């Protein structure tokens, strides 16, 4: 047993009384998200009605989870925090650094060789500070958390944007940067803007080819990539109780794609079934008594428009399968319209690879339903036209699927089974056949489809959908294929139609695993030595960032004015760069190399105004830094959308970028910038973006008076001697201003331990 039942007992002991008190104090019925948020207010935080979308509030989460790519920087910061042992149960999961190339066995050996130094570091620090360690191949962080740690009514944070996956088991689980994780592991309160709450009412029941993934794919089309910003998406209605726990987790997982703080489902019989089958009957016994605590109040359900900030209704019975993409997860096509879109937009119809896996869709149910489509194709005499690659979500899923003959069905059909890890989802995919960057389509059961994310090629058009639709399209080898209506020609030349997928939500014989891949920390880790070589390319001890010099920022050159989408993948690419996630100096060489320069529409090519030559972005930033100068980054909407990786904030800080000024920010990234002591500012008038010229110098005035809700002034010094001046806004509260002044939140945290 890796979860701590005593901890959960302690939390549940006073849960109903706490909720009664909260209801009384804030004077209204409670949504499920509010129940969890308010029961987790940090000590000393006043119990009162906080304004949604406005008030910053301190919370005390129950757990922390970190994946290996972000854990490196989080743990390097923890080592600088002054703590000896983590204050809340925490875990590290080795899932991001395994490259998918040949097969699970060979790739795992290669990963263990290539990442030996990093794995050893993560394991040693985990041991020293009392953190649970999940070995490479144990599984993808969110699947492992769902199988082992998620519990109804709990609150956790994770250094990965798809942490909300645990909302499928009614846990309020939020993706954060490593610095936030350090706060919680150090026993400090963790701050979040009280989120708005979007209610999504589910009615009806899924059937046929439609799966839980289609709920969130449709919702992404409705809300767009920004529509959930600063909001919790809370699902309610009779449809919620028809969905499996892993299906609900899929939906919560991908709420990250609409920018939601997190997503959550109420506790139901299916949640209990999953908990029981994953060895947590103890939790079910306790949670069943508290069902009301893990559901919205009746009054909320009878007047949802009154208690949710927005209500959206989805009828599961009428829902079609969706295929979203390319290049953005909110471009949502019901499958009946996909063929037309393929033609109209000239998407490559030749589907080259289907990929099943990722934290979003790699459960036992996902595997079984996809395998049923393969079985059907076999019986119909159909050959699989495209390549099929599978990354099971965890050792437990893999072992159980193998025992039940599911994996062998994939293998017999020619599929390659990769490690239980992220693999192609995070660009850890050595796909030799796209070395020429030819135009092609891939279809995945993942959550993201940004350009270059999976195989590094800008000409790979990635679409996301459910595992069963991935399988059908892979069999057809055609993006425009609609398994609901279209036929295929079999080996006898006959027209045949695939049957609807079928599969068990949970394994009939229960889950099983030989060794789940968990290593518990030793009881007292004080004597554990952490070794980082001075010559290491992968790891580097952190030096604290310098505090603010007490002055306004005067005449700093523009580094880049970004046009269009600028996700954390554009700011700090993954793929081959993942290996430098523990070495700030080395990873800074990828800073903003994927962002498009507004002036020449090129990536990684910006004007050095001193020489009038175009140079690479990190090179220019380093040159300016060497001259004792800073620089300024300008961008458009939803800057920093995507992952929680704080490298996207630390790299500009390290390379002496003074401010990021944008039309709007994605939530996690804005917080990450603030935590690293950066200035994150927004245009009051978005058209002012157009006033910025390529060779401008920029001043930011008003910092000596930096205060909440008070705009700063941006002054542009154009090369021709003219200038512009306008207001820029910020969302810093007083404690965040203190982080800025101290140089970073960590510097401020350390002051507290002195």
Could you give the residue numbers annotated as active site?
95-96, 160, 448, 643, 645
Query: Smallest gap, in angstroms, from Cβ of residue 67 to ligand F3S?
Result: 6
**DSSP 8-state secondary structure symbol assigned to residue 473:** H
| Residue with Cβ nearer ligand F3S (421 or 620) | 421
Cis-peptide, bond into residue 238, ω within 30° of zero? no
CB of 336: closest distance to ligand F3S in angstroms? Answer: 28
Which range, of 8-16, 136-144, 472-480, 596-604, touches ligand F3S by CB under 6 A?
136-144
Closest to ligand F3S by CB, 67 vs 457, is: 67
44 is written with which tokens?
């000393």
CB 658 within 8 A of CB 631: yes
Find, among 592, 613, 622, the residue nearest to 604 by Cα: 592
Angle formed by the axes of helices 212-223 and 245-253, nearest 10° = 20
DSSP tag of 591: B
Beta strand ranges found along 564-705 (DSSP E): 596-597, 606-608, 613-615, 631-635, 657-662, 679-683, 697-701
Residue 162 vs 398, nearer CB to ligand F3S? 162
Segment 576-605, which members bind ligand F3S (CB under 6 A)? Answer: none
Which of 143/482 has CB closer to ligand F3S? 143
Which tokens sit at 71? 């854990």
Site for ligand F3S in 159-188 (CB under 6 A): 160, 162
Residue 107 sits in the site that holds ligand F3S (CB under 6 A): no
Distance CA 559, CA 659 (A): 10
Contacts of 470 (CB under 8 A, 6+ apart): 354, 355, 356, 370, 443, 444, 445
Element (H, E) at 365: helix 364-380
567 binds ligand F3S (CB under 6 A): no
Q: What's the closest the beta carbon of residue 425 comes to ligand F3S, in angstroms? A: 3
Query: With respect to ligand F3S, which residue has the nearer C-beta, 94 or 245?
Result: 94
**Which range, of 267-275, 336-344, 422-430, 507-515, touches ligand F3S by CB under 6 A?**
422-430
3-state helix, strand, coil in the chain (%, to 5): 40, 20, 40
Q: Residue 352, SS3?
A: strand
Interface with ligand F3S (CB under 6 A), residue total 15
Please tell me whether residue 359 binds ligand F3S under the rule CB under 6 A.
yes
Q: Which is nearer to ligand F3S, 60 or 263 (CB)?
A: 263
Cα–Cα distance measured from residue 146 to residue 275, given in angstroms and rounded to the nearest whole number: 9
Q: Single out the segment in contact with ligand F3S by CB under 6 A; choices: 420-428, 597-605, 677-685, 722-730.
A: 420-428
Inter-CA distances, 389 with 246, 410, 474, 591, Å: 21, 9, 10, 31
Stretch that binds ligand F3S, among 37-45, 275-283, 421-429, 511-519 (CB under 6 A): 421-429
Rounded Cα gap, residues 99 and 425, in angstroms: 10
3-state secondary structure 34-57: HHHHHHCECCCCCCCCCCCCCCEE
Q: Which stretch binds ligand F3S (CB under 6 A): 106-114, 137-145, 279-287, 531-539?
A: 137-145
3-state secondary structure of 261: coil
The strand pair at 262-264 and 231-236 is best described as parallel
Q: Which is nearer to ligand F3S, 214 or 257 (CB)?
A: 257
Instruction: By CB under 6 A, name the one of 426, 470, 473, 592 that touches ligand F3S.
Output: 426
- Identify residues 373-402 at the interface with ligand F3S (CB under 6 A): none
Q: Of 141, 406, 413, 464, which lies in the binding site for ligand F3S, with binding defined by CB under 6 A?
A: 141
Shorter beta-carbon distance to ligand F3S: residue 68 or 365: 68
Could you say whether residue 18 binds ligand F3S (CB under 6 A)? no
Minimum Å gap between C-beta 306 and ligand F3S is 35
Instruction: Indicate whether 422 belongs to the interface with ligand F3S (CB under 6 A).
Output: yes
| Shortest distance (Å) from residue 471 CB to ligand F3S | 18
What residues make contact with ligand F3S under the rule CB under 6 A? 67, 95-96, 140-142, 160, 162, 358-359, 422, 425-426, 446-447
């Amino acid at each position: 047993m890796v979860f701590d039942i005593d901890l959960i007992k302690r939390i549940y002991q006073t849960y109903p009384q706490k909720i009664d008190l909260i209801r009384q104090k804030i004077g209204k019925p409670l949504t499920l998200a509010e129940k969890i948020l308010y029961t987790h207010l940090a000590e000393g935080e006043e119990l009162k009605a906080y304004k949604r979308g406005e008030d910053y509030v301190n919370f005390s989460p129950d757990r922390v989870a970190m994946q290996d790519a972000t854990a490196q920087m989080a743990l390097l910061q923890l080592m600088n925090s002054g703590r000896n042992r983590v204050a809340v149960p925490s875990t590290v999961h080795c899932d991001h650094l395994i490259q998918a190339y040949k097969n699970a066995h060979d790739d795992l050996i290669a990963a263990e060789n290539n990442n030996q130094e990093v794995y050893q570091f993560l394991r040693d620090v985990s041991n020293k500070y009392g953190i649970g360690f999940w070995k490479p191949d144990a599984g993808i962080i969110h699947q492992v958390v769902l199988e082992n740690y998620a519990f109804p009514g709990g609150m956790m944070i994770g250094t990965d944007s798809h942490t909300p996956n645990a909302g499928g088991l009614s846990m309020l689980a939020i993706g954060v940067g490593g610095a936030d994780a350090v706060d919680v592991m150090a026993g400090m309160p963790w701050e979040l803007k009280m989120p708005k709450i979007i209610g999504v009412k589910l009615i009806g029941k899924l059937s046929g080819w439609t799966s839980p993934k289609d709920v969130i794919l449709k919702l992404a089309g409705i809300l767009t990539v920004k529509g959930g910003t600063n909001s919790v998406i809370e699902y309610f209605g009779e449809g919620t109780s028809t969905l499996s726990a892993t299906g609900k987790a899929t939906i919560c997982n991908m709420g990250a794609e609409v920018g939601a703080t997190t997503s959550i489902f109420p506790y139901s019989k299916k949640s209990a079934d999953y908990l029981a089958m994953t060895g947590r009957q103890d939790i079910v016994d306790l949670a069943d008594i508290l069902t009301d605590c893990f559901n919205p109040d009746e009054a909320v359900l009878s007047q949802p428009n009154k208690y949710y900030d927005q209500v959206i209704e989805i009828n599961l019975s009428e829902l079609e399968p969706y295929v979203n993409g390319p290049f953005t997860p909110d471009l949502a096509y019901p499958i009946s319209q996909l063929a037309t879109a393929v033609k109209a937009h000239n998407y490559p119809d030749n589907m080259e690879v289907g990929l099943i896996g990722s934290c979003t869709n790699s459960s036992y149910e996902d595997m079984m339903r996809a395998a049923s489509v393969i079985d059907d194709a076999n019986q119909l005499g159909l050959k699989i036209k495209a390549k099929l690659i599978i990354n099971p979500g965890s050792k437990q899923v893999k072992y159980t699927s193998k025992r039940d003959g599911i994996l062998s069905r994939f293998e017999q059909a020619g599929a390659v089974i990769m490690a239980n890890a992220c693999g192609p989802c995070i660009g850890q995919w050595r796909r030799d056949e796209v070395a020429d960057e030819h135009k092609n389509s891939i279809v995945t059961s993942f959550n993201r489809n940004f350009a270059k994310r999976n195989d590094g090629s800008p000409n790979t058009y990635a679409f996301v959908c459910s595992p069963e639709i991935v399988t059908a399209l892979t069999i057809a080898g055609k993006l425009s294929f609609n398994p609901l209506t279209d036929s295929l020609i079999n080996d006898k030349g006959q027209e045949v139609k695939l049957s609807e997928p079928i599969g068990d939500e949970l394994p009939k014989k229960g889950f099983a695993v030989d060794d789940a891949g968990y290593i518990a920390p030793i009881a007292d880790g004080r004597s554990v030595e952490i070794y980082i070589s001075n010559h290491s390319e992968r790891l580097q001890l952190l030096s604290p960032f310098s505090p603010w010099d007490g002055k306004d920022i005067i005449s700093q050159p523009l580094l880049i004015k970004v046009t269009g989408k600028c996700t954390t993948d554009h700011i700090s690419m993954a793929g081959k760069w993942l290996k430098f996630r523990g070495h700030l100096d080395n990873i800074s060489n990828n800073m903003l190399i994927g962002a498009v320069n507004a002036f020449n529409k090129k990536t990684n090519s910006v004007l050095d105004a001193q020489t009038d030559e175009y140079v690479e972005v990190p090179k220019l930033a380093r040159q300016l830094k060497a001259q004792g100068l800073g620089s300024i980054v300008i961008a458009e909407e939803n800057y920093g959308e995507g992952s929680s990786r704080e490298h996207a904030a630390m790299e500009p800080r390290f390379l002496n970028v003074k401010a990021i000024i944008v039309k709007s920010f994605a939530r996690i990234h804005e917080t990450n910038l603030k935590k690293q002591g950066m200035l994150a500012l927004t245009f009051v008038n978005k058209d002012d973006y157009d006033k910025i010229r390529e060779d401008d110098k920029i001043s930011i005035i008003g910092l000596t008076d930096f205060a909440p809700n008070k705009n700063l002034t941006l002054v542009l010094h154009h090369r021709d001697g003219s200038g512009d001046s306008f207001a820029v806004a910020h969302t810093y509260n007083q404690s965040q201003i203190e982080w800025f002044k101290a140089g970073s939140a960590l510097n401020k945290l350390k002051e507290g331990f002195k």
